[in-house]
């Protein structure tokens, strides 16, 4: 499958192309599916880092369509990893629902750099949802021993079963039902975060929700709470219809 103009742009930006092969799949919940892969030699060339992601190419009505997914349990020695799909309507979810051993899919690695906060934060604040769950888990694992408050937006009852990899002694999770296009999550964060932010210089805020919610919260944290840009990471993971 050709990758169209997006593929040309990624090539110019030194994107590296790979082909992954499915080795298995499992339904984590009725709205969340994990697919296991061999990496086509990628990890031996690139290594792995927290929140590392790849662009996966799907066919959308015969046209190339790419979406980014975070690697889960990447093993460079074995050349394996998994991807997790928050299922909804769309070509990526359709592919994941049908994926079975032996299937292959094309991918491009580009733009996945991660800079760990320096100095290491004394407290971590995370705001995300099922789409960013794999990245949340790798972030928590990359900062062991750091206390964290996590606002996790949920759209389905089964989202309560999603596997956040928590240290119960250090991590406080607040599950927030999605309402009013993300406005409820914004309200909950604004109500709680100022009282928790006892050491702004030592805090690190990581936001990865839908694009509009992410933009609103990033503006709030950088503006009203006056956290410097270096202590805030914000990336919209999807666009609400």
Residues 182 and 90 in one domain: no
In a domain, 118, yes or no: no
Q: What is the pLDDT of residues 12-71, one digit of tens each?
A: 446 689 999 999 999 999 999 999 999 999 999 988 888 899 999 999 888 888 899 999
Residues 45 and 75 in one domain: yes
Q: Which of 217, 206, 208, 195 is nearest to 236 (CA)?
A: 208
Q: Which of 219, 213, 156, 157 is nearest to 187 (CA)?
A: 213
Q: At what angle do helices 183-196 and 211-223 cross, to 10 degrees?
A: 30
pTM (two decimals): 0.89
Confidence of residue 8 (pLDDT cuts 50, 70, 90): very low
Q: Of 52, 75, 109, at which residue does a domain stop?
A: 109
**CATH no. for residue 96?**
2.40.30.10
Per the structure, the count of domains in the chain is: 2
Measured distance CA(93)–CA(51) in Å, rounded: 21
Q: Of 56, 80, 109, at which residue does a domain stop?
A: 109
Q: What is the pLDDT of residues 163-181, one digit of tens each?
A: 999 999 999 999 999 999 9
């Amino acid at each position: 499958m050709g990758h169209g103009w997006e593929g040309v742009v990624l090539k110019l930006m030194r994107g590296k192309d790979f082909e992954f092969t499915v080795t298995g799949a499992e339904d984590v919940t009725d709205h969340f599916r994990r697919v296991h892969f061999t990496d086509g030699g990628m990890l031996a060339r690139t290594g792995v880092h927290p929140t590392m992601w790849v662009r996966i190419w799907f066919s959308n009505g015969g046209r190339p369509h790419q979406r980014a997914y975070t690697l889960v349990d990447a093993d460079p020695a074995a050349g394996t990893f998994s991807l997790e799909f928050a299922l909804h309507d769309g070509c990526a979810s359709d592919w994941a629902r049908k994926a079975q051993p032996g299937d292959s899919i094309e991918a491009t690695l580009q733009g996945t750099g991660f800079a760990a906060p320096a100095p290491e934060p004394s407290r971590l604040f995370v705001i995300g949802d099922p789409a960013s769950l794999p990245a949340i888990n790798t972030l928590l694992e990359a900062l062991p021993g750091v206390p964290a408050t996590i606002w996790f937006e949920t759209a389905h009852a089964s989202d309560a079963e999603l596997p956040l990899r928590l240290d119960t002694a250090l991590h406080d999770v607040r599950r927030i039902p999605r309402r009013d296009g993300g406005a409820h999550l914004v309200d909950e964060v604004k109500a709680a975060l100022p009282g928790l932010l006892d050491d702004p210089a030592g805090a690190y805020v990581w936001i990865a929700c839908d694009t509009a919610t992410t933009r609103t919260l990033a503006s709030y944290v950088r503006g009203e709470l006056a956290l410097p840009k270096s202590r805030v990471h914000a990336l919209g993971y999807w666009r609400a219809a």
